[in-house]
Amino acid sequence: MKDKVSQNIQDLNFLAEKLARNKSLIKFNNPNESEPESWSLAYALLELENSCSKFTKELLPKLVSENLSEDEINDLLHEIGEELRHILYHIKDSKFYSYLDS
């Protein structure tokens, strides 16, 4: 678990530093905010990766392949909805992708 956390932090730092050099992102920085857009976007992208992975590798295969009761299907659909809500949150939270929320 500790190695995974360390790797996640390394990935976040690497991606944030890479994005910090991007002129398209720099214009979204606000000196009144504690976090530059590169950091926010890096975090959002990694969170999106996790949610998309959970949806494609766990939730959808379970829905497709297992013999589920109606209640289990409803629970699974709700869980999928929560992952989609998480994805939408990170899309809407990003200044760079704000045009997607119009």
Whole-angstrom distance, CA of residue 17 vs CA of residue 13: 6
Mean pLDDT over 75-85 rounds to 97
The model's confidence at residue 97, banded by pLDDT at 50, 70 and 90, is very high
Written as six digits, the tokens of 80 are 């999928």
pLDDT digits (tens, 9 = 90+) for 38-67: 999 999 999 999 999 999 999 999 999 878
pLDDT surpasses 70 at 2: no
**CA–CA separation, 68 and 46 (whole Å):** 31
Buried/exposed 56-80: b ≥16 CB within 10 Å, e otherwise: eeebeeebeeeeeeeeeeeebeebb
The percent of residues in the chain predicted with pLDDT above 90, rounded, is 75
Closest CA to 62 of 76, 75, 49: 76
pLDDT for residue 3: 80
20 pLDDT band, cuts 50/70/90, is very high
